[in-house]
C-alpha cells in the first residue's frame, strides 16, 4: 500500500510542478496576466505540491540511515546559512 501511495504522490508532485512551470512561462512571455483567480489557483497548486512533497518524505521507500550528529550538524548549517 505504501509503495502504491508513494508512486501516486510522485505523479501528483510532478504534475503540480509542471503546472507551476507552465504558469511561470506563460507569465514571463506575457501570455498570461496575473489576477486574483490565477493567484488562487497557483496557491492551491502550491499547497498540493508541498503536501505531496511532505508525504513523499514521510513515506520514502528508500530510507537512509544518517547518524543523529550529522542530522543536527546539517540542521545547524541550514539555520546559520545566510538567506
Q: Is pLDDT above 90 for 70?
A: yes
Q: Give 60's Cβ-side CA count (13 Å radius).
A: 8
**pLDDT value, residue 83:** 64
Nearest Cα to Cα of residue 8 among 47, 45, 61: 61
- How many structural domains compose the chain? 1
In this prediction the pTM is 0.70
Domain membership of residue 9 as a residue range:
2-80
pLDDT-derived band at 48, boundaries 50, 70, 90: very high
pLDDT-derived band at 1, boundaries 50, 70, 90: low
**pLDDT value, residue 8:** 93
- 5 phi and psi, to 5 degrees? -65, -40
Amino acid at each position: 500500500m505504501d509503495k502504491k501511495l508513494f508512486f501516486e504522490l510522485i505523479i501528483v508532485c510532478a504534475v503540480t510542478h509542471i503546472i507551476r512551470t507552465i504558469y511561470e512561462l506563460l507569465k514571463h512571455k506575457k501570455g498570461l496576466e496575473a489576477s486574483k483567480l490565477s493567484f488562487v489557483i497557483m496557491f492551491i497548486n502550491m499547497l498540493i505540491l508541498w503536501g505531496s512533497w511532505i508525504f513523499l518524505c514521510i513515506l520514502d521507500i528508500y530510507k537512509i540511515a544518517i547518524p543523529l550528529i550529522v542530522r543536527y550538524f546539517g540542521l545547524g548549517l541550514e539555520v546559520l546559512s545566510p538567506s
